Amino acid sequence: MFVENIKETLNLGEKLSQKLNPHSIILLYGPIGAGKTSFVQGIAKGLSISEDITSPTFSLSHHYSSGKIPLIHLDLYRLNNIASAKEVFFSEEEEAVQKQAILVIEWPELIEPLIDNFWRIRISYAKNCGRHYEIRDPKNLLTFS
């Protein structure tokens, strides 16, 4: 799916939020500046989360509980070894299970092999300045194109 601007990115995230449930895990792939956090803002909007959604690059995770379903937003960009990534992921996953939250993970490359059931979202720059989103559901069926 092609999006031209941030408004369309937010709308796409909001649309996806309607397909999620507690315990959903979303893996977000894409280069720096592609719009991963903006996409999470759209998901949060769809969940009626009132807090400001910001990038957790330096804190590693942000937790939001004001919406219909809690949201945990994890960013593994600064972690460069699998042991650290696993430790953070397992801790946040445990909390997501306890809170019945949705877990969104930016830069999930180190921990993807540990997860069986997840949404995969790949964001890439399009030639005409927009973004291309490839979204696959946990059964690996193309749900948006």
Q: Which amino acid is at 118?
A: F
Fold of 2-139: Rossmann fold (3.40.50)
Query: What pLDDT shows up at residue 145?
Result: 46
What pLDDT, on a 0 to 100 scale, did the predictor assign at position 143? Answer: 59
Claim: this prediction has a pTM higher than 0.85: yes
Between strands 119-125 and 131-136, the pairing is: antiparallel
- For the chain, residues with pLDDT lower than 50 are 145
DSSP state of 113: G
Diameter over CA atoms, the chain:
43
Task: Return the percent helix, strand and coil in the chain, to nearest 5.
Answer: 30, 25, 45
The CA-CA-CA angle for residues 76, 138, 89, to 5°, reads 25
